[in-house]
Amino acid sequence: MNRLYPKGFNLLLFLLVSHMLVAQTTISGTVLSDEQTPLEGVTIQVKGQAIQTLTNSKGGFTVTVPVLPVLLLISHTGYQKGEFNITTITPSSFRLIRNERNLDEVVVTGYSTQNKKLIAGSIQTINSQAFRDVPASGFNQLLQGKATGVQVNANSGVPGGGITFRIRGNNSINASVDPLYIIDGVFISNTDPIQTGMGQQQGSNPIADINPSDIENITILKDANATAIYGSLGANGVVIVTTKRGRLNSRAKVSLNGYHGWSTATKKFKVASGPETALLTNESRINTVKDNPALPPPSLIAEPDSQPTFDRISDLFRTAHTSNYEVAVQGGTDKSAYYAGFGYIKQEGIVRPSNFERYSGRLNYDNYLNQKVKIGTSVNISRTWRNVSSNDNNPQGVINSAIFVRSYLPVFNSDGTYARYGSFDNHLALINYLGNNAVGWRTIGNVYGEYAILPQLKLRTSWSLDNASEYENNFTSSLLAAGVASNGSAASYETKNLVLTNEQVLTFIQSFGEDGKHSINALVGNTINTVLSQSTSATGTGFASNDLTAVSVASVRSGSSAESRSKLLSVFAKASYTYNNRYTLDASFRADGSSKFGENHRWGYFPSGGFTWRADQEDFIQSLNLFNELRFRTSIGLSGNQNGIGPYAAQGLWQSGSNYLDQPGIAPSQLANPDLTWETTRQSDLGTEFSILNSRLFVSVDYYNKYTYDLLLNVPVPNRTGFATYLQNYGAVSNKGFELAIRSTNINTRTFKWTTEFNISQNTNRIEKLASDITLGASGRNISILRQGYAVNSFQLYKQLYVDPQTGNAVYEDLTKEGNITAADRQIVGNALPRYTGGFTNSFSYKGFDLNIFFYFQQGNKIMNMNDFFLVHGNTQANIGFVPRQLERWQKPGDITDIPRVTTSNRNIEANNSAANNYGGNVANLSSRYLENGSFIRLRTLSLSYTLPSSIINKLKFNNIRAYIQGTNLITITKYGGPDPEVSSQSGNQNTAGYDWATVPQPKTIQIGLNLVF
């Protein structure tokens, strides 16, 4: 604001001077942004003359000039400068183009803001404009395809459901691989609080507690130079969210936002019809007897062709509605600035009965008490509500109950009650009676004070809290399979996650020497951090009626509670030195002490260093007349990880609760490891950015190499010790990759603009060192494997080579060359990690119209299709139906297919090309035929919006009016045979990615919306 005073003074001077002269011509006009919103505080200068003014809150201005024509220079922070030739006094509007390169902007980095040109780290800022209006509940989901080096996938189509978010690959096996989220300086808990069993899925996305519309921008810190300042929290990258704040001296602006959307599945499940199921069953029974003539003659389903078909799939899906309403006010006086927002969203799941609802409120307030002291606060309060429905490996989940049951079996018994088969429930009973409600309250708040000790020395202290509480009440009525025996059961959970953070930062910024050739930006600080998790649960069984649903009225009740806390102390320092605006050298250092580790290995030290060269400032580059910008960056550093391990991981422990005869009991549960310490990631990064063709083409390239060692690994120990695993620092993982981002302004005229953005990221993950294979996943089937020399999230299966056209039996690769098929013949046949991910955006604007087309793509990942695994079983599963793929089975000599002959024979199970291993036997259906290519390219969003011209808006006394129509996931191109390739059913564990197992597919949405600003 200091700058405003000289400007105001100049203006005053100018007015005085102009009054003394004879005033000749007054010109007026309005300055608008590319979105047609009026811009306030824009500087208007008359070229060659000492005349300048600022625009008012409507974007309007008037200047008086001696003579026409004149050249007006219009400039505004964040926008490209405009030069306009004025020949008449007719009022006209001027459009400023947003500065796409953002190169002159300052960006938020760890504990400071820095000029982006001078930063050595790999940092990317995404403006909220890039993801507005998209109907996803969490901002982390919205970053998909928007930033390089970041892989984002929704695990399911459940609204508010879990997200896979990785920055530059999986760094760890046992510790967390999620980034650190910081919102307005508050460290955010990303612990999923849902206790209700959801199968193996992550129950919720805790980030969905934040309304994305409150966000101004998101900065992603990727390399060690950027993240090392966060020490032990930074190894997986850092996501810094800055929410909207008011500006000093700006008029109150009210914005109203609303949209309504209609969603359906991108593709639905398909199962074989009744006659098809009967046909396959009979064929298998006949074949089985052929394989083993000693068996009695097969008993066949009579008249297979006249079997009925009961369509359960249609009951599952619905056209789901999404409604979103928001109101926000922002503005400021000369001393204070404010932003207040309120939002409501209700999102139905496309598969019944899941729902998501969120109320969110935010208040950001800053106040200059005087020239030296500034205080402020950021508070977010939100309430979420979810109707939780279990999926994937739970046979009594609603999707399992609809797709697994044989389609010729009726939905209702003859007496009208719900029919159940095998271990599956009735899908309609679940849809009608599943009563799992989760209510979350989230308070994220921060109070800070800043004191400018000297103009160049500033002390900031900040006190933050993230308080998440989840209150779940579940009732399983006696109409559901899970409640039959118990006469109804209920559970109630209260879960709290509290993160308290206090930090002090002392910042020193100074330029000195001739023309400020030397400049220094330095800071020191400390943080104190406590994480507290508490939960209490009560369960009850035996209810007098299905209308009495509270635990308190159950006939048998029990309860339990849990608590854990961990603490972290840190001190850090960072300094960067710039010479002549050309060379910047920076270094940072952080020391972290964690309560999780043993006293002798508690502290970890994380240094980093980087160098930037602004080559465009060199004469020899400038003489090329090619580059508008050219920079080279390099950095190296260490960062640590302690998240994801238990708070008492280093201690030898006996657990309580090992009771007997209702008397308290204790038993050994954990072997002590006094040497346990930090998992460390060493990362080096090499990057360059340049812009050419008059800044119309901007290119950014990065290469990184990460090596994570001393993994916090649960190493198997011999069971004779009485323990199964032991947490120790062992093993290493590496991630290497390239990132490329291109932005191009293809056409830019006063009325028409076309820009293209493209980004692609490649990552190669490899387990460098591991004590022994770790197998897991798919409920004990161990389809996922961690093996030295391979990437994490690999799949191990029996590799089916072909189906013998003569016998119809599956032939597997015999790795051991023993001539038979044994457990040793399982091998790694693919991986769930994509080789490439990226986004491709084209934006067109013509007058008030904007068209935005955004594609997301990923390539190279495999999906284990568990639906096919279970539903292509050759009749080995008497209680389970089939999917249409089973119809492609081998039937007669000469048939070429990958689905073997149907049979349940179990003779000669060791032999290759034996009927026993088609679906059962040693192979037990763990065949690579169910592993599919998961690559896809998807039209993620297509939106068309129209902003009313300012002339009309002004008449209506509005600031801005914009209406739009948008489609999400309209087109998906993939070879994947399941419902949707963006899926990860076993996402509760980071090492079991890439399963598709009775999971809600992604929604396809059409929405219409309106933004009003006045």
Partner 1 sequence: MTRYLYLYLAFFLLTTSCRKFLNVQPQQQVDASVAITDAVSAEAAVNGLYNRLGSDGYYGSNFISLSYLMGGDIQWTGSQSAPSQIAARALTADNSNIASAWMAIYRTILSANYIIDIVPRLTDPLLTEAKKNQYQGEAYFIRALAYFDLARAWGGVQLITSPTYSKTDQEGIRRSSLAETYAQVLSDLDKAEALLPATVNRNKATQKTVWALKARFYLYQQDWVKAESYASKIIDDAANYKLLKPYNAFFANNVTATAESVFELAYSTSFKNGHYNWWLPPALGGRREWAPNNNLVTLLNDPAIGGNRNSLIAQTAPPGNLWYGKLYYRNPTGTDPAYLMRVAELYLIRSEARVKQTKLTQALTDLNAVRDRAGLSPATAATPEAILLAIENERRFEFAFEADRWFNLVRTGRVSSVLNISDPNKFVFPIPISEIIADKYLDPNLGY
Q: For residue 793, what are its two tokens?
A: 């999230």
> With contact defined as beta carbons under 8 Å apart, do 587 and 609 qualify?
yes
Residue with tokens 């600022």: 54
Residue 695's Cβ-count burial label (10 Å; 0-12, 13-18, 19+) is: middle
Pick the closer one to partner 1 by CB: 77 or 772.
772
Q: How far apart are CB 571 and partner 1 at their closest, in Å?
A: 6
| Angular region, 545: left φ>0, alpha ψ -120 to 50, beta rest | beta
Q: For residue 292, what are its two tokens?
A: 């083993």
Pick the closer one to partner 1 by CB: 80 or 546.
546
The β-bridge partners of 467 are 443, 498
Q: How far apart are CB 873 and partner 1 at their closest, in Å?
A: 8
Pick the closer one to partner 1 by CB: 572 or 976.
572
Residue 26's Cβ-count burial label (10 Å; 0-12, 13-18, 19+) is: exposed
> With contact defined as beta carbons under 8 Å apart, do 793 and 833 qualify?
yes
Pick the closer one to partner 1 by CB: 83 or 818.
818
DSSP assignment letter at 273:
-
Pick the closer one to partner 1 by CB: 293 or 718.
718
Q: How far apart are CB 341 and partner 1 at their closest, in Å?
A: 34
Pick the closer one to partner 1 by CB: 393 or 763.
393
Residue with tokens 């048998």: 556
d(CA 846, CA 280): 58
Q: For residue 671, what are its two tokens?
A: 């072997």
Residue 381 CB partners (closer than 8 Å, separation 6+): 360, 361, 362, 441, 442, 443
DSSP string, 130-143: GGTT---S-HHHHT
Q: How far apart are CB 217 and partner 1 at their closest, in Å?
A: 31
Q: How far apart are CB 453 and partner 1 at their closest, in Å?
A: 5
Pick the closer one to partner 1 by CB: 88 or 552.
552
The total of other beta-carbon atoms located within 10 Å of residue 629's CB is: 19
Q: How far apart are CB 721 and partner 1 at their closest, in Å?
A: 4
Residue 504 CB partners (closer than 8 Å, separation 6+): 459, 460, 461, 462, 525, 526
d(CA 786, CA 518): 50
Q: How far apart are CB 791 and partner 1 at their closest, in Å?
A: 21
Pick the closer one to partner 1 by CB: 414 or 623.
414
Q: How far apart are CB 579 and partner 1 at their closest, in Å?
A: 24
Pick the closer one to partner 1 by CB: 47 or 565.
565
Q: How far apart are CB 396 and partner 1 at their closest, in Å?
A: 9
d(CA 234, CA 641): 7
φ, ψ at 163 (rounded to 5°)? -125, 140
The β-bridge partners of 701 are 688, 740
Pick the closer one to partner 1 by CB: 130 or 797.
797
Q: How far apart are CB 238 and partner 1 at their closest, in Å?
A: 22
Pick the closer one to partner 1 by CB: 309 or 764.
309
Q: How far apart are CB 773 and partner 1 at their closest, in Å?
A: 8
Q: How far apart are CB 915 and partner 1 at their closest, in Å?
A: 15
Pick the closer one to partner 1 by CB: 391 or 541.
541
d(CA 633, CA 964): 40
Amino acid at 315: D
Q: How far apart are CB 836 and partner 1 at their closest, in Å?
A: 34
CB-side exposure of 159: number of CA atoms within 13 Å?
32
Q: How far apart are CB 451 and partner 1 at their closest, in Å?
A: 9
781-789, long-range: CB < 8 A, 24+ apart: 781/926, 783/864, 783/926, 783/995, 784/832, 784/986, 784/991, 784/992, 784/993, 785/828, 786/173, 786/991, 787/828
> With contact defined as beta carbons under 8 Å apart, do 593 and 602 qualify?
yes
Assign 3-class secondary structure to 710-746: CCEEEEECCHHHCCCEEEEECCEEEEEEEEEEEEEEE
Q: How far apart are CB 720 and partner 1 at their closest, in Å?
A: 5
Pick the closer one to partner 1 by CB: 131 or 798.
798
Pick the closer one to partner 1 by CB: 541 or 635.
541
> With contact defined as beta carbons under 8 Å apart, do 250 and 57 qualify?
yes
Pick the closer one to partner 1 by CB: 257 or 641.
641
Q: Cα separations (Å) of 806 from 734, 803, 810?
A: 46, 9, 11
d(CA 390, CA 252): 46
d(CA 548, CA 477): 9
